Structure 1
């Protein structure tokens, strides 16, 4: 009997050991740290990262919306006087590249799995959003790491690529991505906070991005601009329902970043500029009430002078100037990447150049203003028609109306101010920067953002080469498409 007990326990031990050997690798696997991230998680991460940086309190707000002269600062007015925070610039750069790398990781993972057309669709979406991010970075800085970017430890200090060559590469990659998408096949099973997985809208976004890139180079390479725009025009965003936007929600942490700044943190630091209010009131523009609230002390729209010192700004009561309409910092207010208004203005400009885009400059111009009005809740057709009649199409009016309509999209508005040389258009009512005591050496609206300090420290040789290639790492250095 004793021997039978020994045999029984020996058999149990053998079974346990065999079972343990079969699954021995599971011992070293941490279920909380998966080795492969589902691609939809990477897409969500990239979209949120880009949205939070684009609309963050120290990016679109303290740089984009102030340098575009829409917003002044109630106090601490350093940014309107061009004294920017170095750490903010470092974070903007690194977070954009983190998001770009997440999108690249989607394509890396898909190379290891045969997903058929679904994998092709996912790669195309990742490419379009990557291209949007790269294009944004080029239009902010100039030359940036591109060809050697995202190589990890293989190339820890990437060289910068020429900004004009990046533009050409982006046109090719976006065009290929748009053509590769098959909307009838699966894409991302979830995680898309821009279009909810609608592949046809990703195609429209890609085509619209080609329009934006094309119009930016229209003065330096009109031939490439024309072919790019005419090839993409029919497939671009064609209604506000197609707008490419980060769809924020009312639940933390997936809220509009401005909500965090204004409501959660209580930092209501921005108000209307005097010059922008003067432009809107001079045109009796109905959007003024959607952009701002009347000054509490007067019941009229009043702006704060742009570029005053912190002491002067702090001495002006907040009740004396128009504050932001609360809708722009609502938790679920969308973060626009590109919209119907912008595509319509681009097509109006292309039509004025004589390019075959399927309509006239006047038609697209009216369409653009209508799209902007509708987005901001102004829907009375007769009122819109009267406004357009009072501000009919002309080259100058197009520039001014596009500037008004691009409110809240500070980064893109700044790019268009530079491209259209808007500071020289008196009707735009921009402040003459040369009359303001600022902290950097500029002679007009800033031409670019200087490179982050971390690049100077951690990638010094390539930073120096890039600075030399663009002319100088200075706020006053023109990008290649800015030839005023």
Structure 2
């Protein structure tokens, strides 16, 4: 009996030992990655930088391209109204939680890896681009300590002044663009340019040109040297080099998604925007706009009722709410406010429409101004001006085959609208406003920098608006509630340095 018990015990031990040998291997998940190629982190940064839907509420409304007469969660630029929960959503939360974080990780993971030098510098360029958007929207922002929450446990980052941020952005773009090398590893998996070094260089130098032009009033000397360096490096001059994010059925364009969904009947092209295009016989109006003639509700905005005829387009006036717009629509001879022109969601703002970050149109127009100022000495302002218009008209075909502008119509418009002595800055920057349609942050930034187009301030709520004084425009977005309640000390230091946390407070480079 004792022998039987002894053998049983030994057998049990052997079985346990035998089973234990494979447990370590069995418990390893062979399909779950233990590391991620940093190029895919860069891709996450890129695809998350498509402009969020709330840029409709502020940026595009401030520059009077699209507006809604409705309030609630849509209240913002349409009513000159501060809404801190909404000002967090357009750029702040999306960029800091995704774009800045992912770029920072790529930079940290590749800065000492000479084999991935190109990826390191691509991430530096894209990080500079993201920070430029953030500081242009808000002014002083977390910069030096941004993105370090995981690596350094800095969960409450300090804010940097915008002047210093721009100095660093210019340095990063200059160094990273120059450091890109066609002899290094080509990062073919990148979703922006598939690792094309020549195009990444042009993207970096085009951003440097943009950064230099931002300083045209705040620091003209620095602006001139920066612009000259960018031009010498080589910028985007043709649509083949445009920097844009592609969307598809799986990854929808954010603005296209909302305008083809819950807000389809809520946003309209403004009267200033439609009138600018209509009064100059601009063929882009037919490519951009649709009017659902006779519509009395959202359900009436059917494809059959839609007209893209430029002569029939009517923009919605600024300063109306969903009460006063009813009488205005009657005055304008419309069936209802649903009868005003919209950006065509079946063509230019589809769910699969691209989002342009930097385009040949924008770059040529900036060069037109730079040449006018004498900051570049090659070419003529008139040629850059007309090339910019042509580039944007040709770019329209990228949205949809039915948004293409015919070459004949393009050339007729360019011939009829030359650059005129005495009105150069107004003409150039009005065209920049048109060429930046759907790029709300860039249109908003350049409008503040240049003062053009010559728009009339949105009268809603004035003259007694505490956020936007009578006869003025929104100049920045306010800090989100999350920062005020959690990162209180640092955000209050920024407010003390920059000025009151109001929509009307000007950022550093926004000079008269």
- Normalised to the residue count of structure 2, the TM-score between the two structures is 0.83
Are 1:95 and 2:125 matched, yes or no?
no
Match of 2:457 among 432, 443, 458: 432
Match of 2:375 among 334, 355, 361: 355
What is the CA distance between 1:74 and its match in structure 2? 4.9
The alpha-carbon distance between structure 1 residues 175 and 429, as it changes in their structure 2 partners (threshold 3 A), is closer
What is the CA distance between 1:13 and its match in structure 2? 5.5
Rounded to whole Å, the distance in 2 between the matches of 1:150 and 1:435 is 38
Q: Could you tell me whether the CA contact under 8 Å between 1:275 and 1:429 is conserved in 2?
A: no
Task: State which drifts further: 78-87 or 199-208.
Answer: 78-87
Rounded to whole Å, the distance in 1 between the matches of 2:242 and 2:493 is 38
SS at 1:329 equivalent: coil
Are 1:309 and 2:351 matched, yes or no?
no
Rounded to whole Å, the distance in 2 between the matches of 1:272 and 1:439 is 27
Q: Could you tell me whether the CA contact under 8 Å between 1:208 and 1:338 is conserved in 2?
A: yes
Rounded to whole Å, the distance in 1 between the matches of 2:129 and 2:228 is 19
Q: Could you tell me whether the CA contact under 8 Å between 1:215 and 1:346 is conserved in 2?
A: yes
SS at 1:337 equivalent: strand
Are 1:473 and 2:501 matched, yes or no?
yes
Residue number in structure 1 paired with 2:53: 57
Residue number in structure 2 paired with 1:171: 170
Cα distance per residue 1:310-369 (max 9 Å; x no partner):
222366424531122232221221111111011101111111111235211111111101
Cα distance per residue 1:167-192 (max 9 Å; x no partner):
010111111111221234334352x3
Are 1:372 and 2:392 matched, yes or no?
yes
The alpha-carbon distance between structure 1 residues 444 and 38, as it changes in their structure 2 partners (threshold 3 A), is same
Residue number in structure 2 paired with 1:107: 107
Provide the aligned C-alpha RMSD in A.
Answer: 2.7
Residue number in structure 1 paired with 2:206: 208
The alpha-carbon distance between structure 1 residues 111 and 32, as it changes in their structure 2 partners (threshold 3 A), is farther
SS at 1:154 equivalent: coil
Q: Could you tell me whether the CA contact under 8 Å between 2:468 and 2:504 is conserved in 1?
A: yes
Map residues 233-312 of structure 1 onto 2, 5 A cutoff: 233-234=231-232, 235-249=234-248, 251-252=249-250, 254-265=251-262, 267-294=264-291, 296-297=293-294, 300-312=312-324
SS at 2:81 equivalent: coil
The alpha-carbon distance between structure 1 residues 73 and 109, as it changes in their structure 2 partners (threshold 3 A), is same
Match of 1:228 among 214, 226, 242: 226
Cα distance per residue 1:387-437 (max 9 Å; x no partner):
233322123211222222222212111111111112xxxxx4523335753
Rounded to whole Å, the distance in 1 between the matches of 2:494 and 2:326 is 40
Rounded to whole Å, the distance in 2 between the matches of 1:395 and 1:170 is 26
Q: Could you tell me whether the CA contact under 8 Å between 1:261 and 1:268 is conserved in 2?
A: no
Match of 1:384 among 388, 402, 410: 410
What is the CA distance between 1:301 and its match in structure 2? 1.0
What is the CA distance between 1:89 and its match in structure 2? 2.3
Q: Could you tell me whether the CA contact under 8 Å between 1:78 and 1:310 is conserved in 2?
A: no
Unaligned 5+ residue runs, structure 1?
423-427
The alpha-carbon distance between structure 1 residues 202 and 38, as it changes in their structure 2 partners (threshold 3 A), is same
- Count of residues paired in the alignment: 465
Residue number in structure 2 paired with 1:425: none
Task: State which drifts further: 335-344 or 101-110.
Answer: 101-110
Residue number in structure 2 paired with 1:336: 356
Q: Could you tell me whether the CA contact under 8 Å between 1:40 and 1:189 is conserved in 2?
A: no
Are 1:398 and 2:398 matched, yes or no?
no
Rounded to whole Å, the distance in 2 between the matches of 1:7 and 1:75 is 80
SS at 1:245 equivalent: strand
Map residues 112-127 of structure 1 onto 2, 5 A cutoff: 114=113, 116-117=114-115, 119-127=116-124
Task: State which drifts further: 438-447 or 452-461.
Answer: 438-447
Q: Could you tell me whether the CA contact under 8 Å between 1:347 and 1:357 is conserved in 2?
A: no
Rounded to whole Å, the distance in 1 between the matches of 2:408 and 2:286 is 18
What is the CA distance between 1:269 and its match in structure 2? 1.2
Cα distance per residue 1:94-113 (max 9 Å; x no partner):
2211221111111223358x
The alpha-carbon distance between structure 1 residues 215 and 312, as it changes in their structure 2 partners (threshold 3 A), is same
SS at 2:268 equivalent: strand
Rounded to whole Å, the distance in 1 between the matches of 2:7 and 2:93 is 68
Rounded to whole Å, the distance in 2 between the matches of 1:129 and 1:456 is 28
What is the CA distance between 1:380 and its match in structure 2? 4.3
Q: Could you tell me whether the CA contact under 8 Å between 1:217 and 1:481 is conserved in 2?
A: yes
